[in-house]
Amino acid sequence: NAGVTQTPKFQVLKTGQSMTLQCAQDMNHNSMYWYRQDPGMGLRLIYYSASEGTTDKGEVPNGYNVSRLNKREFSLRLESAAPSQTSVYFCASLRPGSHYGYTFGSGTRLTVV
């Protein structure tokens, strides 16, 4: 089915480990986003990519890096995981001219112990 695919769905990391969250969309969207969701805080933007080859920081970028590998894929990397990064991570993409019609993936639940 067309949409935004995130892998993995669940992950447990030890403090200091690194990992990459993968996101791919098959809708030919230009813009892609990474959010984290924490209880009572809604979704906060980590990084975004307005188009292939560009990335920009969002509200909470510290401790993360991103790569827009091509138009389809936008990955999020944690170089040295910390317990404060325990969260649910959502990737989203946006169709040009859709007036904020984001398509979200189903999320990655990350626990850092």
Give the residue, chosen from 82, 101, 111, 113, that forms a contact with other proteins under the rule CB under 8 A: 101
Does 81 engage in binding with other proteins (CB under 8 A)?
A: no
Q: Say if residue 113 is exposed, middle or buried (CB neighbours under 10 Å; 0-12, 13-18, 19+).
A: exposed
Does 97 engage in binding with other proteins (CB under 8 A)?
A: no
Q: Which of 86, 89, 87 lies closest to 76, judged by CA? A: 89
Does 100 engage in binding with other proteins (CB under 8 A)?
A: yes
Residue type, 8: P
Binding site for other proteins (CB under 8 A): 4, 31, 40-45, 48, 50, 58, 90, 92, 94, 99-107
